[in-house]
Structure 1
Amino acid sequence: MNMILLTEEQANSVRGMYGEYSMLDPFRVVEGWALPIKILEKPEFSSVKDFLSSLPQQEVTLIVEDDN
């Protein structure tokens, strides 16, 4: 999955609500923090689009562990 990679400081700076129903919540990956690149297409995140577009982008493999 293509992701935008962020440092912890960058992740904290964009984390939060955007409008009434939209939220950015970067999640932890081995490389630091990440957001799906698809969010750049969403108009509700236009206020941070230029900033997020300037950050590194990379293919990240997500591993989901089942607690069972």
Structure 2
Amino acid sequence: MARDDAAYGLTMAELPDASQDELRKVVRKLAATVRDVAHVAELRGERLNEPVYGPAARALEEALRTAAKRWTHE
């Protein structure tokens, strides 16, 4: 589910006609997903900065930065 949410977020970040409200909803959804993944990782005793999480964390960070830049230019 987290992978699907990440893919959806990246798709929305690339849509030139996505509204600020739509992007806010995506950010809320991605934040909730990250919270859930972090909770599961904590339950498993893992750390989010382990190499396996690096690419996903960087992709999410880039999507959020792209969305934030678009918001400031609307």
TM-score of the superposition, structure 2-length normalised?
0.28
Structure with more of its chain in helix, by fraction: 2
User: TM-score, normalized by length of structure 1?
Assistant: 0.29
Select the structure of larger CA radius of gyration: 2
Structure with more strand by fraction: 1
